[in-house]
Chains A and B, each alone.
Chain A
Amino acid sequence: MSLSTKNMDAELAAKLFELMCLIRRFEEESARLYMLGKIKGFLHLYIGEEAVAAGAIPPLREDDYIVTHYRDHGHALARGLKPNAIMAELMGKETGCSGGKGGSMHLFDTEKGFMGGYAIVGGQLPIATGLALAIKQRGQDQVVACFFGDGAVNEGEFHEALNLAALWKLPVLFFLENNLYGMGTHVERSRAGGKDIFDAASAYKIPAKQINGMDLSEVRETTIDALNRVRSGDGPVFLEAICYRFRGHSMADPSAYRKSTEVDEWRDKDPLESFKQTASQQGLLSAEDVLRISDSVEKTVKEAILFGEESARPPAESLYEHVYAE
């Protein structure tokens, strides 16, 4: 399958391809470490959806905010959180980006404007709206990028947040990652309005667009346009990226609700493979680049695992820290 590489030079193509590869390998290794019992709790992998984070997040400005859901490793890596700190967090170590107190679903790095992964479906939408309200109250021009899944759109908080953001013309980019399943329930079995969810935004007069979430360049170009529009002060924009997770909802999911042929069809649209093909055909990515990127990613992920394994667990006295602020 051929995609576009509009406005992309070799350097950018290599950088974004590397980011997608990093997310892929990070997640594959996370799955392996989970099976070894080195990562506990819930683990929701981003494998298959890499083009969304790699397309949508790098165009954000350094002082913009990101608020996301519990499938948050890809967003965190795309935002430049240290792989070491993310892996240490998954392993429950004190060097983790949330000090070992958040876990996979609650990655934070406020210095990078990464305001958290949220694990109650839909709960992050009002919070993203509030961050945008703070921006507006102070007369600044940052943007809040709020990621959520198709499962969130049937929550009341989704509708309350869209209404507030549109009513008050707040600078939010509502970014729906529609991977077609809320846990194991297909979007057509959960939403009366059908699978094209971006329509919902029109109820609040929010400009909305549906895009191919497997296409890095399309995600990137659409996001850049959307961010310009949001930053101009006219209120929120809504993007719906159609994508697919190749793995189950979490590591605990045997994926009994979908056929392997369906998964195979989507695997044929693998965002890494298709981007690699297109970029190679267009002379933006050489075989040497691909090898170099592969080596670099392996090294980064290996280092992150080592860092996580060698880090200490949080000390007992940290149990009582940060319940309250001074």
Chain B
Amino acid sequence: MTEITLRDAVSKGLREALDRDDSVFLMGEDIGAYAGAYVVTKGFFDEYGPERIRDTPISESGVVGAAIGAAMGGMRPIVEIMTVNFMLLAMDQIVNHAAKLRYMSNGQITIPMVIRTVTGGGASLGATHSQMFEGWFASVPGLKVVLPSDPYDALGLLRSCISDNNPVIFSEHALLYNITGDVPDEEYTIPLGKASVKREGADVTIIAYSRMVHVALEAAGALSTKGVSVEVVDLRTLRPLDVDTIIESVKKTGRAVVVEETWKTGGFAGEIVSTIQERSFDYLDGPVLRVGGIDVPTPYSEDLEAAVMPTPERIIDAIDNGFGL
């Protein structure tokens, strides 16, 4: 075991892929000479050269489209889109083309492409740079959507993403790059579509992904001092979604709260809530709750932004109000 940051876990996964497979190459805005906006590709440009670490113009649609084409032509591109906010500029390529070409061509086209991006708020970056759209992408058949919450998951999942033969979106939360965790020295992978129970408990299940896993774990720790035993399920991938792990946990605890950083209205949490009602209604001891981002554009000023985010306190209040625990 070695203790590394999530940033280093991602770098390690990228290096391995570049070392092992000549068809893998990286492209994105300022990933080369600049080393990446979040410094994930530090040193890569000198080591692998400008063709495999390909700096691109600021042309998200063009770049994602080019990655799709390169993948169709037998390469395994890994694109970095600086933040998920900028992926809106590439929606046509991601949703209309990447997600559908295999199906529309009756299996003739294969697109082994990873889009790495940075997601989430909490860094005073204002309304246009603090969003999370992974739930939107997760509603599109043909895409896979992955959000690691710690270094171990980041490396294991990234390995699976890169070896996957489909377009995969891999979202790294900006506030998680510096968290540390133990990573085995021997090779391991984590399959896409397998959630992780990050804490076992008996009374309530909290379902979360990305940074909200840490917020949920904090709430669980605080609740344990009140004698409430909380189980925390980290989805890790929104698509494919590991429904079985969610349902198994809810059947055990009888209570569920879905925590999501993005807006509550139309969020992916609603999808999970519905699935729980459909699959485990008879096991529920109360309504399935949601704690989500407040429905406003994320404000810049610190206190206001903090008020938008789900917090351990809001989760604890929800459990208290909803379940009397």
> B104 contacts which of A102, A130, A135 (Cβ < 8 Å)?
A102
Question: For residue A65, which residue of chain B has the nearest CB?
Answer: B73
Chain A residue nearest in CB terms to B56: A164
Q: Are A123 and B73 in contact (CB under 8 A)?
A: no
How many residues on A have C-beta within 8 angstroms of the other chain's C-beta atoms? 44
Give the chain B neighbours of A157 by CB distance below 8 A: 61-62, 65, 92
Interface stretch (choices B94-102, B172-180, B246-254, B288-296): B94-102
Q: Does B209 contact A (CB under 8 A)?
A: no
Give the docked Cα–Cα distance between A297 and B108 (Å): 29
Per-residue interface assignment for chain A, residues 127 to 142, with 1 indicating a CB less than 8 Å from any chain B CB and 0 otherwise = 1111111110110000
Residues of chain A within 8 A (CB-CB) of B106 are 96, 98-102, 108, 321-322
Decide yes or no: A127 and B72 within 8 Å by CB, A116-B109, A325-B102 being known contacts. Answer: yes
- Contact A134–B69 (Cβ < 8 Å): yes
A275 to B168 alpha-carbon distance, docked (Å): 50
Interface string of B43-86 (1 = CB under 8 A from A): 00000000100001101011111111111111101000000000
Closest to A96 in B: B106
A201 within 8 A of B: no
A101 to B165, CA, bound (A): 20
Do residues B73 and A98 form an inter-chain contact, with CB atoms below 8 A?
A: no
Judge whether B166 is part of the interface by a CB distance below 8 angstroms: yes
Q: Is the interface of A mostly helix, strand, loop or mixed?
A: mixed
A110 touches B105 (CB 8 A): yes
Q: Mark B118-155, 1 if CB is under 8 A from A, else 0.
A: 00000000000000000000000110100000000000
Least Cβ distance of B312 to chain A in Å?
37
* B324 located at the interface, meaning its Cβ lies under 8 Å from any Cβ of chain A in the complex: no
Q: Which residues of A contact B105 (CB under 8 A)?
A: 98, 101-102, 106, 108, 110, 116, 322
B96 surroundings in chain A (CB, below 8 A) = 120, 123
The verdict on B107 contacting chain A, using a C-beta distance below 8 Å, is: yes
Complex contacts, A98 vs chain B, CB 8 Å = 104-106, 108
Q: Is B280 an interface residue (CB 8 A)?
A: no
B70 & A130 in contact (Cβ 8 Å cutoff): yes
- Point out which of A65, A99, A164, A325 has the most chain B C-beta atoms below 10 A from its C-beta: A325
Q: Is the CB of A160 within 8 A of B97?
A: no
Contact across chains for B59 and A163 when beta carbons are under 8 A apart: yes
Q: For the complex formed, measure the closest distance between the CB of A137 and the CB atoms of chain B, giving whole angstroms.
A: 6
Q: Are A116 and B70 in contact (CB under 8 A)?
A: no
Most buried by B among A67, A120, A130: A130
Q: How far is the CB of A313 from chain B (nearest CB, A)?
A: 14
Query: A152 within 8 Å of B by Cβ?
Result: no
CA distance A16 to B182 in the complex (A): 66
Residue of A nearest to B69 (CB): A130
A126 to B289 Cα, complex, angstroms = 43
Within the complex, the shortest CB–CB distance from A218 to chain B, in Å, comes to 29
Given contacts A164-B63, A324-B166, A325-B102, contact A138 B74 (CB under 8 A): yes
With both beta carbons as reference points, the residue of chain A lying nearest to B73 in the complex is identified as A134
Minimum Cβ distance to chain B for residue A184 (Å): 22
Closest 10 CB pairs of A and B: A130-B69, A126-B65, A134-B73, A160-B62, A99-B106, A130-B66, A322-B107, A108-B105, A325-B165, A160-B59
A-B contact pairs, 21 of them (CB 8 A): A101-B104, A108-B109, A115-B72, A116-B105, A123-B92, A123-B96, A128-B69, A130-B65, A130-B67, A133-B69, A134-B69, A157-B65, A161-B65, A163-B62, A164-B62, A321-B106, A322-B103, A322-B107, A323-B103, A325-B111, A325-B166
Other A-B contacts than A131-B69, A132-B69, 4 sampled, CB-CB below 8 A, are A106-B105, A126-B63, A133-B75, A323-B141
